[in-house]
Structure 1
């Protein structure tokens, strides 16, 4: 199925321009049979989220809600994996041919969020956010992500190294993010990820004493010990 998804950037641009001419009516008239269930589940998920009149579609809560649905359905029903998730053709196709109305409602007519900028494609970012944060079960993952914000999505997905994402390491960084001792440092995830980017050039986390868990704890400890200096620089 996925091998038949061929959707170039030029095709995406053309489709986006069509949608741009009448965005309020951009729901696809026809969806390939294989992707019908995915669309139905995602649209149903949006409606369930909006039953609560206090919730907003332009929010981190919505991104998290839809991210979990997308991650679960693609994994369980579509054999999705990291190799497919790294292909922008897949995300361009899903954004413009299967769920354009959903992307529009969340992001407006923003070409970067539909197809133009690889790390900004909305469906792609919410899938990778869940994947890079996964703690073995949806319940555990929800728990560690509940207090985050849209900035954490941006920071996490943007930190693509030369060899791609280091998934195990990133999951441990997210796991330790909201430990009580770390909660008082401003923009903590951004700072930790930047420090990690510098350190992994010199240190292999899995080979450090205590392994990845200890390596990540040291990243956070650096900022908890230097909180006063961090706060001074952030003013």
Structure 2
């Protein structure tokens, strides 16, 4: 299935220009199987989210809701994995051929969010945000992330480190951030991520006495000790 997805950046640019000419009518007339089912599920979730009139598409809450749904369905029903998630080609196809209207409703005609920005493609960013923050179940993950903001998404995705994302490490960092998010330290998560990037040049977290859990605890203690 995924091996048949061929969608170059040039194709994406051309499709984006077509959408740009008439954005209000960019919903796809027909989506190829099996992605038609994915679209149906995601669009139903959008409707479910908006039943509460206080909730808005232009929000972190929408990103979290749709991210959890996308992560679950792609992984469970479409055999998705990290290798596929690292390929922008897949996300360009989903953004422009399956969900152009959804991306447009969330971000307008922002080419970075459709196909151009490697870490800014919206669907890609919410999948990786959930993956790097996963706590074992959707319920636990939602509970861990519900108090965050769009800034946490950007900070987490922008600091992969020279060796790429360390999934076990980021999940523990996010779990502890929930505990300390109410502290008075300004921009705590951003500071912890920057400190982590610096320390990874010298320290292997898994070799620290007490393991990754202790390593992450020490990252937060560095900033919390004075508050």
> How high is the TM-score relative to the length of structure 1?
0.95
Secondary structure of residue in 1 paired with 2:119: helix
Tell me if 1:194 matches 2:194.
Answer: yes
Instruction: Report the counterpart of residue 78 of structure 2 in structure 1.
Output: 78
Alignment check: 8 A CA contact 2:181 2:188 kept: no
Q: Distance in 2 between matches of 1:183 and 1:38?
A: 39
Instruction: Report the counterpart of residue 6 of structure 1 in structure 2.
Output: 6
Per the alignment, do residues 164 and 37 of structure 1 end up closer, same or farther by CA in structure 2, a change over 3 Å counting?
same
Alignment check: 8 A CA contact 1:181 1:224 kept: no
Tell me if 1:111 matches 2:129.
Answer: no
> What count of residue pairs does the alignment treat as equivalent?
227
Report 1:1-235 matches (<5 A).
1-180=1-180, 183-227=183-227
Q: Distance in 2 between matches of 1:121 and 1:157?
A: 11
Instruction: Report the counterpart of residue 233 of structure 1 in structure 2.
Output: none
Alignment check: 8 A CA contact 2:67 2:126 kept: yes
Give 1:163 deviation, angstroms.
2.0
Q: Distance in 1 between matches of 2:181 and 2:152?
A: 18
Q: CA RMSD in A?
A: 1.0
Give 1:184 deviation, angstroms.
2.1
Describe the superposition over 1:106-158 as per-residue Cα deviations: whole angstroms up to 9, x where unpaired: 01000000000100000000000000000111111111101100100110111
Secondary structure of residue in 1 paired with 2:34: helix
Q: Distance in 2 between matches of 1:136 and 1:184?
A: 29
Q: Which moved more, 1:143-152 or 1:174-183?
A: 174-183
Secondary structure of residue in 2 paired with 1:120: coil
Q: Which runs of 5 or more structure 2 residues have no equivalent in the other structure?
A: none
Secondary structure of residue in 2 paired with 1:162: coil
Q: Distance in 2 between matches of 1:189 and 1:182?
A: 11
Alignment check: 8 A CA contact 2:12 2:92 kept: yes
Q: Distance in 2 between matches of 1:187 and 1:2?
A: 39
Give 1:182 deviation, angstroms.
6.2
> How high is the TM-score relative to the length of structure 2?
0.98
Secondary structure of residue in 1 paired with 2:24: helix
